[in-house]
Structure 1
């Protein structure tokens, strides 16, 4: 495995379910000399009881107030763990669904590691749907990701690096991110500094 120069700060990889976030973030972390994968889903799975249902009665993504509170807690934990790794000299490579500008601002406001690099994996929807449908049942989502993809585009449009990974292997995508993220993914605009 070729090791590249290190990436400063924190790399945040987002996209819809099926975009390849978790696979690519693991491969990116493996390619850096000192890095840790911080999988946002893990913080939701840690809730052994009382976990909110994020889908409405028609099976659409629609977390209610308790679901929103738990998603926020997930982001708090993601930022704390990423910062702990960064403080110890490891590049945190975080992956999580970030749908709105408000969520990104919240993460940027809590995260001390700088720069914040945002990579939005945006393969064509049919590719993301196929990847989702063919993965292990425990990691599969059962709702249509199209509304989330549209909202992500509307909310996060000019921010970070939008990477269409539809024609690439996860390894090719990871190599590209390691080579280009420091140049293409840094989020500068209107990021609050951590308080």
Structure 2
């Protein structure tokens, strides 16, 4: 089986696209690795958290940028200490460009999980958590498709198991996901 090269792997997609599962599977491919869950930094806020939503509440974008900055710094700190890092969160829209540019560490890999809307709906029903309270699936999916950079590896995992998705990423990461 092909192996992943040590680096920082960023896994994104909308809610219920499989980010957590795939990031965990990828991180298990290394002898020394860390799975950084970017959403953890949102959950750490005890009072005053402002979630992103379609009506773009004041302060939400600033908190999101802070979350992205912290996640990037944590990923780079682990990488500098010899770990392969798999970082996952919802990286959407215009903020993705500046987020990716904030990394000094190389190599950097960017992977977008892009199952179709029907697959997202089915997966959301099976999850033990509800992601779609502030958002509807289609508008969020449209932001991903229309505003995210078309760089890195985009993978339609609609009809793939998590293991098949991870295997496909492993096979294609070096040639398609590597940004630098």
TM-score, normalised via structure 2 length: 0.90
Is 143-152 or 119-128 further displaced after alignment?
Answer: 143-152
Residue 187 (1) aligns with residue 179 (2): yes
CA–CA separation in structure 2 for the residues paired with 1:185 and 1:116: 8
| Gap regions ≥5 residues in structure 2 | none
Flag as ranges the 4+ runs of structure 1 deviating above 3 A. none
Aligned to 1:121: 113
Pair 1:64–1:26, CA change in 2 (3 A): same
Structure 1 length-normalised TM: 0.84
Deviation at 1:81, TM superposition (A): 0.7
What does 1:30-179 correspond to in 2, within 5 Å? 30-55=28-53, 61-100=54-93, 102-137=94-129, 140-142=131-133, 143-179=135-171
Count of aligned pairs: 179
Give the root-mean-square deviation of aligned CA atoms. Answer: 1.8
Secondary structure of residue in 2 paired with 1:63: coil
Q: How far did 1:41 drift?
A: 0.9
Cross-structure match for 1:13: 11
Unmatched runs of 5 consecutive residues or more in structure 1: 56-60, 189-195
Deviation string, structure 1 residues 138-192 (Cα, Å, up to 9, x no partner) = x53322121121122122252111100111111111122123211111225xxxx
How far apart are the structure 2 equivalents of 1:48 and 1:74? 14
